[in-house]
Amino acid sequence: MAVTLEQARRVGYTCLKALLRFAFMVANNLVAIPSYVLYLIVLQPLRLLDSKSFWYIEGVLFKWLLAMVASWGWWAGYTVVEWGDDVKAVSEDEAMVLVNHQATGDVCTLMMCLQDKGTVVRQMMWLMDHIFKYTNFGIVSLIHGDFFIRQGRAHRDHQLVLLKEHLEKYYRSRNRKWIVLFPEGGFLRKRRETSQAFAKKNNLPFLKHVTLPRLGATQVILKTLVAPQENGTPAGGDAVIKESKSKGLQWVIDTTIAYPKGEPIDIQTWILGYRQPTVTHVHYRIFPVKDVPAEPEALTHWLYQRFIEKEDLLTHFYETGAFPPLQGQTKAISREMTLSNLWLVGIQSLAFLSGGMWYCIFQYFYHCLF
């Protein structure tokens, strides 16, 4: 079939735009990530004198880096609409966030939609596959204190021991509030067949849009971070509870990401922007930790129920284009998540100015020494 001039122009424009976006992303990484590392090296004396202030500053820089990643998608027209419970009500409390996993773009989507949730982004900890340690962002996650988990039955028990030690060492010493994990243990397309076979063997529901979650990391997090006494009141709802210095993990936020037509966005699309503008839909349900069972068998059943509910949510979304209303509502309410272009430009400008500053500093010392 012959290609028309208009089609050729469109393809050429898309390729040129992707190339320019990729060049910008590379330049962005070359100035922003080294600047983050160098700022924190210079601030090491502050870490010894006032650890709390050091990790506050690190958190601010970390949030800016995640905002830069969010900006790549935002400026390509990859926006987010949110549904369900309003998680801003618990943004100052400790929470575990359970997310379904379809593609690498899930992480970018979360980086975007959590930007306007108060201090969440700078005080969050991520659990991610160990392979991300070797990406360009790996050094940032290592410094921030994220945990890289190695998948596979042979590594499972040892990884859970390491996770417990990691949480005890870094979670509260760095004033972390939210911890994000993907309990499915991998992408939907890679785990679906195995999960369905396991479900059939154990008389569990047949799931198409999610897979059955794994218990290990969730159980370790709950055992390690939940305080002896729990509450079930959102931040601001109980003045007596707010006076408590350490309340432990208080909430589980069940987060469901849905892409139109079930076509997830991967990191390549997020960077190059060759897909047409797309709205990703994110649904939240908040559960008090006191309602989450501690016993392994009961916890497994509870966790399975969350993903069975995700299956129902996604089925409804793919059939209607919207999530169903919450219990007690007659109509589902959605909220369009927005980012300030001026703020994003300011952060990007600061990154490039920082890169220029560090370059000038190194040039100065180089000429002084040589």
The number of folded domains in the chain is: 1
Within a domain: 241: no
Residues 229 and 285 sit within 8 Å (Cβ to Cβ)? no
Within a domain: 236: no
CA distance 114 to 181: 14
Determine the average pLDDT of the residues in 283-288.
96
For residue 177, what are the domain limits?
A: 5-227+247-324+331-369
Within a domain: 24: yes
Within a domain: 233: no
Closest CA to 308 of 153, 191, 195: 195
Within a domain: 138: yes
Residue 338 phi, psi dihedral angles, 5° rounding: -125, 150
Q: What pLDDT digit, counting tens, does each position of 147-157 carry?
A: 998 877 777 88
Within a domain: 304: yes
Count the residues in the chain. 370
Q: Does the pLDDT at position 236 exceed 50?
A: no
Q: Does the pLDDT at position 241 exceed 50?
A: no
Q: Does the pLDDT at position 63 exceed 90?
A: yes
Question: What is residue 3's predicted lDDT score, i.e. its pLDDT?
Answer: 66
Within a domain: 10: yes
Q: In Å, what is the CA distance from 112 to each residue of 38, 170, 225, 348?
A: 25, 24, 26, 15
Question: At how many degrees (to 10) do helices 153-166 and 216-225 cross?
Answer: 20
Residue 228 confidence class, pLDDT cut points 50, 70, 90: low
